[in-house]
Amino acid sequence: MTIPSKPISTGYKVWAIAQCGYILNVLYHQNGKGPVNSKVPKGSGINPTQAVVVTLLQALPNPPTGPSLRYCVWLDNLFVSTKLFSYLRTLGYGAAGTCRTNSGICKEFVDKKKAEQANQRISRWGSLWQAPTKDNLVLQTAWKDNNLVLFLSTIHYPVEIDAEIVRALQAKTKPGNLIGRELIVRDRGRPRATSTAAKSVRAEFGDAVRKNLAIPCVIDEYNHKMGQVDLADQYRAGNPGLRRIRRGGWHALFRFLFNTVLVNSYLLSSYADGKGGRGVGQKAFRKKLISQLFELGRAEAQKQKRVVSHTNPLLFAAPGQHVQVRREREQDCRGCSLTGQVREPSLKRKALGELSTNQNAQKRPRASVYGCKVCDVSLCKEGPCWEAYHQQFQ
């Protein structure tokens, strides 16, 4: 299919779910029909694109032990809506992600977002608004960063500390430490003066180039945990292979699966040595993998022994068991090669036969449609071929 906005506009579309760059599961997209083997659950109120999230999550194995939530998924604004998050929570899944103005978020936050986009009302950096949905299952958030960010979550609590108290505490708190339960201090850099959001954001920094600022944990965790599928793409792009892939060929899907297996194997190996995912580089891993595959093939070849068969049925067949039959098609007689009989030259090809290059050519034996049923070979119906061939086994 073709998506003009993508860097590679034409190709196969694959939906994926990943963790730490490890692809856990994929769904293929069929042009004109949507995701393969993904159906919208009845009564969920979600659309086919959002149903992909449900399908991929339900394909994962249930964790053996853990909290009440089976998994927590981080999504971008293509999927996020209040209906999807409410439905995921009823299934036991946690979810968080940025959202669009048509995601079902409350109208007050949508109006603030549109006002900022039209430069009608610019809020102060760090301004925060939060409210639950009507069913009290999803937390809605609007937070002023460089731009106003709309966010939905089912795994976070609302911030209950006054904004002025937060501004006083963030100057005394070291980066990485919490303020309350849902705010964390991070070292932020002042944007350039040419930035579109410079006027409102630079006012928060004053003359400082960098400053410790408190941001909601829901935003901080999204920044660190989102983008795992993009990370998997980066791993594959680091060593994709140099073979050219024609559009529409099966090679593209094969190379995608092959590189995905290599990347997943590399990530697993980095944890096998107890280094917590900080093993050797991917290039060194692939070199070692190739050498080990050669060593394994060499060891298997040495184990294999040549099998010699000593039970030729022709050596034990009695002379009376050989029966002459008419075969399905004509083939060269095996007895003529023993008796020295060759085919007679065709009259139609006399001129070619007189050429010097053809006079020394190897003569073919005569062809016959008859043969031996036991030996399964062609033999002339008349002449010495029958006896000459069978005498060699006596």
Q: What is the pLDDT along the chain (394 residues), one digit of tens a residue?
A: 888 887 777 788 899 999 999 999 999 988 888 888 889 999 888 999 999 999 999 999 887 666 566 789 999 999 999 999 999 999 989 999 999 999 999 999 999 999 888 877 778 888 899 999 999 999 999 999 888 999 999 999 999 888 888 888 888 889 999 998 889 999 988 887 776 666 777 788 888 888 889 999 999 999 999 999 999 999 888 777 656 655 556 778 888 899 999 999 999 888 776 665 566 788 888 889 999 999 988 888 777 655 544 445 555 567 678 888 999 888 888 888 888 887 776 555 555 555 555 555 567 788 889 998 888 888 998 888 888 888 877 6
In a domain, 177, yes or no: yes
**How many angstroms separate the CA atoms of 197 and 195, rounded?**
5
Res 223: pLDDT? 92
**How many angstroms separate the CA atoms of 123 and 266, rounded?**
46
Q: Are residues 219 and 333 in the same domain?
A: no
Domain boundary among 207, 226, 245: 226
Q: Are residues 222 and 83 in the same domain?
A: yes
**How many angstroms separate the CA atoms of 195 and 179, rounded?**
29
Q: Are residues 206 and 322 in the same domain?
A: no
Domain boundary among 200, 226, 252: 226
**How many angstroms separate the CA atoms of 394 and 383, rounded?**
19
Res 18: pLDDT? 94
**Mutual orientation of helices 48-58 and 82-91 as an angle, nearest 10°?**
20
Q: Are residues 219 and 338 in the same domain?
A: no
In a domain, 212, yes or no: yes
pTM beyond 0.75, yes or no: no
CA atoms within 13 A on the CB side of 97: 21
In a domain, 129, yes or no: yes
In a domain, 80, yes or no: yes
Res 48: pLDDT? 92
Task: Say how many domains are in the chain.
Answer: 2
In a domain, 83, yes or no: yes
In a domain, 249, yes or no: no
Q: Are residues 183 and 321 in the same domain?
A: no
In a domain, 296, yes or no: no
Domain limits for position 189: 71-226
Domain boundary among 226, 260, 289: 226
